[in-house]
Amino acid sequence: MYIKTKKMDNQQLDNLTNEETQLLLSLYLGDGSYTKHQIQDNYSVYTSSINEDLLRYKKSLVTTLTASDIKLIPNPGYKKDGTIFKMSINSSVKIGQIYQLSLQEKLDKLDKLGLALWFYDDGSLHKKCNFYNLCTHSFSIEDQMLMLEKLKEFGIYGKLLKEKKRDGRVFWYIYVSKYNGAFEISKIMAECNIESMKYKLWSPTTILKWSTVQEDWKSRGVYNLDTFNLHMRQLNKSNGRLKI
């Protein structure tokens, strides 16, 4: 079962289902690799993962397009046994129409399903502090700023995080703290119900603690990000910060 999504408006492209549209959008934003073919500007796209169940879920979303079988292929260095699962969505002009949209147009079409798949691909949950990092370093700073604005529509208030490696390489992430949208991310991802991917979700214990914090916020008149920030400053001054 996948996230129920509303039907696309008249901007829906060439009879793709919304599930296929969201999958293609997430593959552009996440770990998909697009290839252009010579015939009629057709494109194909492949996706890979160490988790076969994630690819099976993605394949279940493909109905008007055609997808290959999921294969186990060599990939030295990717994981301990040097193999990885791979799936392709075969060449189609429909894929090209999605790929050729501007980033802003792609983000405008993104809904909860696309967001969940994007985070399953490139998001990581840091369980000690219950925050998410979304790997975005293949995009420009300007593109990442557009992404930050889109995430706000889902109640997710991230910020750009720069990481410099010892060898000089620089990586960028969108960081979402436990107070500024991490719960919303986990909740949306959970709707996909991929059992073997639940390590990327908040634990039931954490969710229960979060519910307690939210009730405390409401009792103090905290209902949005602005009042939350004021509330947290007051808690810090009084050494009364609530922890989850």
User: Per CATH, which fold does 18-106 belong to?
Assistant: Endonuclease I-creI (3.10.28)
Tokens of 137: 């370093």
d(CA 151, CA 8): 19
Of 54-58, 75-79, 136-140, 187-191, the one with minimum mean pLDDT is 75-79
Of 202-211, 214-223, 230-239, the one with minimum mean pLDDT is 230-239
CATH code reported for the domain at 116-207: 3.10.28.10
What's the residue count for the chain? 244
Q: Which amino acid is at 12?
A: Q
Backbone angles phi, psi at 26, to 5 degrees: -65, -35
pLDDT (tens digit per residue) in 154-209: 999 999 999 888 888 888 999 999 889 999 999 999 999 999 999 999 999 998 88
pLDDT at 5 over 60: no
User: Mean pLDDT in the chain?
Assistant: 86
Give span(s): CATH 3.10.28.10, the chain. 18-106, 116-207
pLDDT, position 80: 65
pLDDT (tens digit per residue) in 17-68: 999 999 999 999 998 999 998 777 799 999 999 999 999 999 999 999 999 9
pLDDT, position 83: 87
Q: How confident is the model at residue 10 (pLDDT cuts 50, 70, 90)?
A: very low
> Which residues, including other chains, have CB under 8 Å from residue 9's CB and lie 6 or more apart?
none
Residues of the chain with pLDDT > 70: what percent?
82
Contact 144, 174 (CB under 8 A): yes
d(CA 210, CA 244): 6
pLDDT, position 4: 54
pLDDT, position 226: 58
> Which residues, including other chains, have CB under 8 Å from residue 46's CB and lie 6 or more apart?
32, 33, 35, 86, 87, 88, 89
pLDDT, position 39: 73
pLDDT at 125 over 60: yes
pLDDT, position 126: 96
Of 6-10, 35-39, 40-44, 72-76, the one with minimum mean pLDDT is 6-10
pLDDT, position 8: 45
Burial of 226 (0-12, 13-18, 19+ CB in 10 A): exposed
User: Could you tell me the pTM of the whole model?
Assistant: 0.84
Tokens of 149: 């604005």
pLDDT, position 239: 58
